[in-house]
Structures are given as C-alpha cells and as structure tokens.
C-alpha cells in the first residue's frame, strides 16, 4: 500500500538521475572530463554555487539554464 512518502532510496535515485541528465547535457558542450569539472566547480552564473549541489537540492532548472548560457 502506498503511503505517499518517498523513501530515502527513491529520493537518492531521483537526485542521481537528475545529476546524470545535467551531466549528459554538459557533455554535449564539453568532453567528459571538462563536464565533470564544470559540475563540481564554482559557477559564476549560479552565484558561485556548484552545479552538482544545486541539482541535488532540486534546482535542476537553474543549472540547465546556466548550461545554456555556457553554450551561447
């Protein structure tokens, strides 16, 4: 019976899926190593935040928008 609550495993899986989506988008712009560095580095468009941290907090749209700025 569903309780309406998401287990911590489900939550972690969702976060990992979001990270993979953003990383795949970053790899459309840069080689794998550069994309990984971008995900874990401070980002001026994101006011100094690391993209990976924002994605894990559910702010994926902001990170995808920052990628579009990088692409331009």
pLDDT score of 1: 44
Render 9-26 in DSSP notation, one character per residue: HHHHHHHHHHHHHHHHHH
pLDDT score of 7: 83
pLDDT digits (tens, 9 = 90+) for 27-71: 999 999 999 999 999 999 999 999 999 999 999 999 999 999 999
Question: CA–CA separation, 25 vs 19, rounded Å?
Answer: 10
- Is pLDDT above 80 for 4? no
What predicted TM-score, i.e. pTM, was given to this entire model?
Answer: 0.85
pLDDT digits (tens, 9 = 90+) for 18-38: 999 999 999 999 999 999 999
How far is the first Cα of the chain from the last one, in angstroms, to the nearest whole number?
48
């Amino acid at each position: 019976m569903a309780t309406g609550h998401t287990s911590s495993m489900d939550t972690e899986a969702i976060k990992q899926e979001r990270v993979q989506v953003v990383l795949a988008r970053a790899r459309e712009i840069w080689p794998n190593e550069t994309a990984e560095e971008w995900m874990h580095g401070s980002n001026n468009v994101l006011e100094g935040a690391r993209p990976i941290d924002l994605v894990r907090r559910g702010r994926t749209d902001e990170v995808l928008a920052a990628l579009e700025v990088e692409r331009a």
